[in-house]
Amino acid sequence: MILSGKPVAEHITAKASERIEELKAKGIMPKLAVIRVGARPDDLAYERGIIKRFEMAGCDYEVFEIPEDCTQEDLDRCIDARNADEKVSGILLFRPLPKHLSGNYVRDAIDSDKDIDAMGLFNQASLFAGISKAYAPCTAQAVMEILHYYNIDLTGKRAVVVGRSLVIGKPVSLMLIGENATVTVCHTKTKDLAGELKAADIIVASAGVAKMITSDMVSPGQVIIDVGMNTDENGNLCGDVDYEGVSGIVDSITPVPGGVGAVTTSVLLKNTVEGAFRINHDKL
Amino acid sequence: MILSGKPVAEHITAKASERIEELKAKGIMPKLAVIRVGARPDDLAYERGIIKRFEMAGCDYEVFEIPEDCTQEDLDRCIDARNADEKVSGILLFRPLPKHLSGNYVRDAIDSDKDIDAMGLFNQASLFAGISKAYAPCTAQAVMEILHYYNIDLTGKRAVVVGRSLVIGKPVSLMLIGENATVTVCHTKTKDLAGELKAADIIVASAGVAKMITSDMVSPGQVIIDVGMNTDENGNLCGDVDYEGVSGIVDSITPVPGGVGAVTTSVLLKNTVEGAFRINHDKL
């Protein structure tokens, strides 16, 4: 079974649209502020996906472009203005930032109610503490949305997460633990990755290495969520999993492209709408 | 090999004493403020251990007792006063609190530099993010101190943590991942706990169930850190591990009592001294 991201994204988008109507009836419109420093091609591609998604859902957005050679103060001022703007319900700052800017410094600058990609300490700690109102990083949340949409039972299942990053590996692991999976976190220092993977019920691949999970490392019956966004030897987009070799063995797998990546912008939308409920709770 | 907590605690205490001398030479004395609501026997026992440790190291401390029927405001005021007191470098609030008081409300009330048991979001998020200056909950840190003192190599080792609590299971898991172990988090919903445990190199038992890990669940060569503090059928203190049955099979194990519990107060001391460096950084 191919776990396509498209129906998941459509489902989340439809639900978000309903909530937008609910807000509009009370004179409120959610709005995403995208803050982009410079014009990296990756950021521009993500931005196009966001715009498409938000237009589809009828949700406001605005892109704030800051020159690549801006000062820390320019960036801080841009974030502060979006925090202060009552119309803005979600703020997304593209990263990585140019090297002369401090990511740590701005990390907690975003109002936690508008921090829809969980950059800040408040949302990260809430995630750690298992507080349900925490925003999770959008890609990590997209993994969970796919598992939920396809009714993949997690309780007591052995989930192996490959990668321990702050934006995917760690938050996904915590969310899987929160949903009663037995979770193993693997990484570059793991000795027998193939052994760990073979014994899994569910694999979340977020290593960032093209096609590193091959047919000899998986087992029948498994569910694989491939978070990888890599380029293969022919310059084509591919995941961390060797899809051709693996998809015939396992039970279900997300394609790349068209899997997790297709869901991320709908999570951004969902969280931007949620942000509007939070910052307007006195009016609702 | 018995992984006794005593030499670990003595080593940490000796190092803390050296740092206290360094501070004293500059006119600074670290001080722990223990805030106790009511007089629960568990709290009083822990308090006695803390006092003994701090007197041994020549470190200041003061216990602030608040009546069990105090208001939320009484508790808040007590915390605020300790935050404001420049002499206080560490604050420990015994929990659980009486039911009429909100733990969430006070959680972030403690200044993060003085939050030596990592109650607050700032330290929890820092732990999640792998920021080295984060304080960890003392018992979780004690587990790591024991592993370090006995030179137990963690890189690439399979560590199985039983329990997913905010004070032990989750922080220990994150710290083990940070030190390159391949970590599996097990809990009440784990299907084959015996199988998970048998395949481990290192087991951290923090389930809170007396003697639940038995001889048929372990393997030769393993290292076991038993965080359990339970009472057995004869009313004696015991761990999560059936020590008699298991200690003859595995390579190394912490006893209960005399293992992790013996190290906790020295971690409190270490962190209180660290707190003094932080709040006085302008004088050092």
Domain membership of residue B274 (yes or no) is no
User: Do A94 and A155 lie in a common domain?
Assistant: no
User: Do B145 and B255 lie in a common domain?
Assistant: yes
Which residues in chain B have their CB less than 8 angstroms from residue A118's CB?
none
Residue of B nearest to A125 (CA): B125
* pLDDT score of A107 more than 90: no
Which residues in chain B have their CB less than 8 angstroms from residue A108's CB?
none
Chain A: nearest CA to B193, how far in angstroms? 9
Chain B: nearest CA to A245, how far in angstroms? 26
- pLDDT score for B284: 84
- pLDDT score for B133: 83
User: Do B150 and B257 lie in a common domain?
Assistant: yes
Which residues in chain B have their CB less than 8 angstroms from residue A155's CB?
189
Region B165-185 average pLDDT: 97
User: Do A240 and A276 lie in a common domain?
Assistant: no
B183: nearest CB among A127, A156, A184? A184
Contact A129 B130 (CB under 8 A): no
Chain A: nearest CA to B200, how far in angstroms? 12
Structural domain total, chain B: 2
Contact B182 A183 (CB under 8 A): no
Would you say the ipTM is above 0.95?
Answer: no
* pLDDT score of B131 more than 90: no
User: Do A167 and A98 lie in a common domain?
Assistant: no
A155: nearest CB among B155, B177, B189? B189
Domain membership of residue A260 (yes or no) is no
Domain membership of residue B225 (yes or no) is yes
* pLDDT score of B75 more than 90: yes
3-state DSSP assignment of residue B87 = coil
Contact B170 A177 (CB under 8 A): yes
Region B175-197 average pLDDT: 98
Contact B125 A130 (CB under 8 A): no
Instruction: Copy the structure tokens of residue A47.
Output: 């931005």
Domain membership of residue A120 (yes or no) is no
Domain membership of residue B273 (yes or no) is no
Report percent pLDDT > 70 for chain A: 100
User: Do A90 and A156 lie in a common domain?
Assistant: no
Which residues in chain A have their CB less than 8 angstroms from residue B185's CB?
173, 177, 182-184
A176-198 pLDDT, tens digit per residue, is: 999 999 999 999 999 999 999 99
Contact A185 B191 (CB under 8 A): no
User: Do A144 and A99 lie in a common domain?
Assistant: no
- Phi, psi for residue A105 in degrees, rounded to 5: -65, -40
Domain boundary residue among B84, B117, B150? Answer: B117
A128: nearest CB among B124, B183, B185? B124
Domain membership of residue A5 (yes or no) is no
Question: Taking an 8 Å Cβ-Cβ cutoff, which residues of chain A contact chain B?
Answer: 121-122, 124-130, 155-156, 158, 164, 166, 170, 173-174, 177, 180, 182-187, 189-191, 196
Domain of A97, in residue numbers: 19-115+265-283
User: Do A142 and A239 lie in a common domain?
Assistant: yes
A164: nearest CB among B166, B177, B190? B177
B229-258 pLDDT, tens digit per residue, is: 999 999 999 999 999 999 999 999 999 999
* Helical spans, DSSP H, in A204-279: 243-246, 261-279
User: Do B99 and B202 lie in a common domain?
Assistant: no
| Beta strand ranges found along B47-193 (DSSP E) | 60-66, 90-93, 158-162, 182-186
* pLDDT score of A105 more than 80: no
Domain membership of residue A269 (yes or no) is yes
- Residue B185 makes CB contacts below 8 A (sequence gap 6+) with A173, A177, A182, A183, A184, B161, B164, B169, B170, B173
Are B179 and B156 spatial neighbours (Cβ–Cβ below 8 Å)?
Answer: no
Report percent pLDDT > 70 for chain B: 100
Task: Find which of A126, A185, A186, A201 to mutate to test the B interface (most B CBs within 10 Å of its CB).
Answer: A185
CATH of the domain at B61: 3.40.50.10860
* pLDDT score of B104 more than 80: no
Chain B: nearest CA to A54, how far in angstroms? 31
Region B9-14 average pLDDT: 98
Give the residue from A134, A209, A139 showing the smallest Cα distance to A168: A139
Chain A: nearest CA to B52, how far in angstroms? 32
Contact A156 B190 (CB under 8 A): yes
Instruction: Copy the structure tokens of residue B133.
Output: 């200056």
A210-238 pLDDT, tens digit per residue, is: 999 999 999 999 999 999 999 999 999 99
- pLDDT score for A103: 80
Q: What is the mean pLDDT of chain A?
A: 96
Size of interface A-B (CB pairs under 8 A): 83
User: Do A279 and A239 lie in a common domain?
Assistant: no
* pLDDT score of A94 more than 90: yes
Domain membership of residue B74 (yes or no) is yes
User: Do B199 and B228 lie in a common domain?
Assistant: yes
User: Do A60 and A167 lie in a common domain?
Assistant: no
* pLDDT score of A252 more than 80: yes
- pLDDT score for B107: 81
Instruction: Tell me which of A50-54, A261-265, B105-109, B125-129 is least confident.
Output: B105-109
Chain B: nearest CA to A213, how far in angstroms? 17
Instruction: Tell me which of A146-155, B122-131, B212-221 is least confident.
Output: B122-131
pLDDT band at B108 (very low <50, low <70, confident <90, very high): confident
CATH of the domain at B170: 3.40.50.720
Instruction: Copy the structure tokens of residue B179.
Output: 């030190």
3-state DSSP assignment of residue A265 = helix
Burial class (CB within 10 angstroms; exposed 0-12, middle 13-18, buried 19+) of A239: buried
Beta bridge partners of A126: none
